[in-house]
Amino acid sequence: MSTDSPVNSPVKSESTVGARVRNFLIAMVAIALSVALVLGLRTETSSASLAKLAEQSTPLEVAMTNGKPSLVEFYADWCTVCQKMAPDITQLEQQYTDKMNFVMLNVDNTKWLPEMLKYRVDGIPHFVFLNQNGEVLAQAIGDQPRTIMASNLEALIEDSPLPYAQASGQVSKVSTSLAPAPSQDDPRSHGSQVVN
């Protein structure tokens, strides 16, 4: 029997080594990409979060009395559209913070129920543009492109008509109940209680 049998051939051991090296490199690249993705997502979410925006926002009472125009945003932490817009709102706030107020009102806080009723908030994000006297100039509901928001803020600061007033985009519905639940004791519902 020859020593160069197919079982002990050098070609097979080289291909096995090559396959192991290839698999090792694929595993290393996958690990590197996973780490980069996790770090990228962590950096993105920590740089522009709704909590951070709310923490840095001007209190509503101050915004109504300091003589600056204001952008009031009704939001919720669970609102995916609000989360999506957070980086753009953060950039706009950094750009215009010395010229106007940025107010964040969480719809999950019942303290803001009077304001929600006043501005008829039924979807979020809901933006209210107030002039320096606290008067409503326009409202925008839902996902708004950064360029449209910037154009409206520029006009608000210059005290001119907003170019994109009454804009609507993708919204998250607010489920705050404003009316009492119907009672079973309603005299008009007596027929619904009869069972055949």
Active site residue 142: no
Backbone angles phi, psi at 138, to 5 degrees: -165, 165
- Start-to-end CA distance of the chain, whole Å, equals 94
DSSP secondary structure string for all residues of 112-167: GHHHHHHTT--EESEEEEE-TTS-EEEEEES---HHHHHHHHHHHHTTS--TTTT-
Catalytic residue among 63, 72, 81, 82: 82
Q: To 10 degrees, what angle do helices 80-96 and 146-157 make?
A: 40
CB atoms within 10 A of CB 147: 10
Give how far Cα 79 sits from Cα of 20, 65, 71, 85, Å: 47, 29, 18, 10
DSSP secondary structure string for all residues of 39-72: HHHHHHHHHS-HHHHHHHSPPHHHHTTSSS-EEE
Catalytic residue among 60, 71, 79, 100: 79
Active site residue 79: yes
Cβ atoms of 50 and 43 within 8 Å: the answer is no
Catalytically active residues, by annotation? 79, 82
